[in-house]
Structure 1
Amino acid sequence: TYRSSFWYLPNPGLEPTISQTAEISINHKVNQYLNLTLTGYYTHMRDLISSVPDNGNTNLYNNRYLGYPVDYIEVPFNAGTQKNYGGNLIINSAFSIGASRFKAWTSVSYVDGTVMESGPSSKIVEVHLPFVAPWQFRAGIDGHSGNFNYSVRLLHSGKQRLTGFTDDANPHHRQLLPGFTLVNASAGYTWKERFTFFAKVQNALNQRYRNPVDVDLNDNNSITFHGSLQDPLRVMAGLTFSLQ
Structure 2
Amino acid sequence: MTQRKVAVVTGGSRGLGRSTVLNLAKRGVSSIFTYHSAEDEARSVTALVKDAGATAVSLQLDTGDVSSLAGFVERLKTALVKLGAEGIDYLVNNAGISNHTTFLEVTEEELDKLYDVNFKGVFFLTQKLLPLLNDGGSIVNISSGVTRFVNPDSTAYAVFKGAIEVFTRYLAHDLGKRNINVNTVAPGAIQTDFSGGVVRDNPAVNKLVSEMTALGRPGLPEDIGQMIASLLSDGNHWVNAQRIEVSGGMRL
**TM-score where L is the length of structure 2:** 0.30
Larger Cα-atom Rg: 1
* Higher helix proportion: 2
The TM-score normalised by the length of structure 1 is 0.31
- Structure with a larger share of its residues in strand: 1
